Amino acid sequence: MSVSPRLKNQHLLWRAAFGPMAENIADLEGINSKKLWELLLKTSAKKPDKIEVAQNLADGLYKGVQDIAKMEAAERRINQKIIQDQSREDLKNLNIRWLDEMINSEAQLREKMSLFWHGHFACRVVNSYFQQELLQVIRENALGNFGDLLRAVSKSPAMISFLNNQQNRKRKPNENFAREVMELFTMGRGHYTEQDIKEAARAFTGWGFNVSGEFEFRINQHDADTKTVLGKTGNFDGDAILDLLLAQKQTAKYICSKIYRFFVNEQIDEVKVNWLADRFFVNNYDIKKLLEDIFSANWFYEEKNIGTQIKSPIQLLVGIRRLLPMEMDNDQSQLLLQKILGQILFFPPNVAGWPGGRNWIDSSSLMLRLRLPQLITANEIVELRPKADDDTQMGMMEMAKKIKSAVKGGTATIDWTLLNKTVATVPREQLLNKLKEMILQAKMSVPNSIIEKYLNKESRENYIKSTVVNLLSTPEYQLC
């Protein structure tokens, strides 16, 4: 069975971006997938503006710093709770502002790739300045060279702090960073030894950051003796270890495997991944060329890859807001939705990031996913109770009260104009099928006759609204 041009283009927009917008969804039948891919590249070419919530050290560096007792006397007088509370507030703002970029930015490919790297280089520090700077590193390098990205992330205060490399010093090496850079960032588990980790940890001694939150190589804390890592012996420092890791073809394969699962299919096709890895390695880890190899390949658009991926919570929320232009009555209600759905930006569950796939769905999160469109668009009182988790709470129990109040009158003001225009010439009897084509990537299991029973037929506008909301509330909409 052949795949229609519309379905191909929607597939590309759901995978390489966050789904179609109301204003362009009508044009997807008349554009070639290759041209659409070129447009995605073009609109993501510009260097991203920085999302800034903490402008300097005082705004960010002190916030979330755990070792306040070691600060100088004047700094110790700062109320630690106030500092940490402010940093958490800044992180909420950083979250919402990046979410807005995902929804509204033309640079869809860059933001989607940044979300992938955000999970790959998972980092959880309650320090708004550190997180802000790491996000900018990721967004600037998201489509560039993986080696450059790896090096920049490895030297970021956020990652050095998170993986304890600030405490990694000569004669007292800390192995956390060395372990994770091999296991999670480059080669993957099973392609190195414990001795490799110990030796690499010695090479990363002295990597830290100064009081301004800038990378600093503290030479007096660096172990300058000979090390043997991955069968190579030398007077290695941290940069030399990263070079060794990049020289391993296994690194290219590991990265390509993760990217294939994220953008193509959870079920790995070893032949295709090996082909991608060979080219990624030969092309010196050029991320843009790797993505072009994927999104311009005929096999990417095969039916087995379409409508088979469970949307992450972020992708689900952003996708709805791109299809339905809206003003949120309470922007921070989106944080609570992230919490309940299981993906809070800047708060990964651990250093391995979010596992994805079927892990996004359980009985409670699925029920919320299916009710989410009504929650956003209708007058529905919903009792939302996130599980208690002090580590990732971000003040969300208080937010539960606020969202309950927001939901009471509908949580968003939606502009239906653009979506109505896209189907203005479609006869009434064809509207349901047309909207299904535009909204769903997976085949609907429920017959139209059953859906029709739940639609508001008082007017054409109400019919369109109720159709859209009901389609967004189906299990099939959870897939892309």
pLDDT on residue 212: 86
Q: What b/e string do you get for 263-297 counting C-beta neighbours within 10 Å, with b at 16 or more?
A: bbbeeeeeebbeebbebbbebebbbbebbbbbbee
**C-alpha span between 83 and 80 (Å, rounded):** 5
Q: Which of 79-88, 372-381, 396-405 has the lowest mean pLDDT?
A: 396-405
Q: Span 126-137, mean pLDDT?
A: 96
- Banded model confidence at residue 383, pLDDT cuts 50, 70, 90: very low
Asked if pLDDT for residue 119 goes beyond 80, the answer is yes
**C-alpha span between 429 and 463 (Å, rounded):** 11
The per-residue DSSP string of 412-449 comes to EEE--HHHHHHTTTS-GGGHHHHHHHHH-SSPP-S-HH
Asked if pLDDT for residue 398 goes beyond 60, the answer is no
User: What are the pLDDT digits (tens) for 162-205?
Assistant: 999 999 999 999 999 999 999 999 999 999 999 999 999 999 99
Mean of all residue pLDDT scores within the chain: 90
Q: Span 302-319, mean pLDDT?
A: 98
Asked if pLDDT for residue 226 goes beyond 80, the answer is yes
**C-alpha span between 424 and 418 (Å, rounded):** 10
pLDDT on residue 379: 46
232-234 and 227-229: which strand pairing? antiparallel
Q: What b/e string do you get for 343-352 counting C-beta neighbours within 10 Å, with b at 16 or more?
A: bbbbbbbebe
Q: Which residue spans within 97-176 are E strands per DSSP?
A: none
pLDDT on residue 332: 85
Q: Which residue spans within 192-270 are E strands per DSSP?
A: 207-209, 215-217, 227-229, 232-234
- Banded model confidence at residue 223, pLDDT cuts 50, 70, 90: very high
pLDDT on residue 174: 98
Using a pLDDT cut of 90, give the percent of the chain over it. Answer: 78
Taking alpha carbons only, the member of 404, 356, 397, 398 closest to residue 380 is 404
Q: How many Cα atoms are found within 13 Å in the side-chain-facing hemisphere of 344? A: 25
Distance between the two ends of the chain, CA-based, in angstroms? 18
**C-alpha span between 343 and 349 (Å, rounded):** 8
pLDDT on residue 3: 92
- Banded model confidence at residue 375, pLDDT cuts 50, 70, 90: confident
What is the token pair recorded at 185?
């960032």
User: What are the pLDDT digits (tens) for 73-109?
Assistant: 445 555 566 677 788 899 999 999 999 999 999 999 9
What is the token pair recorded at 376?
């956003």
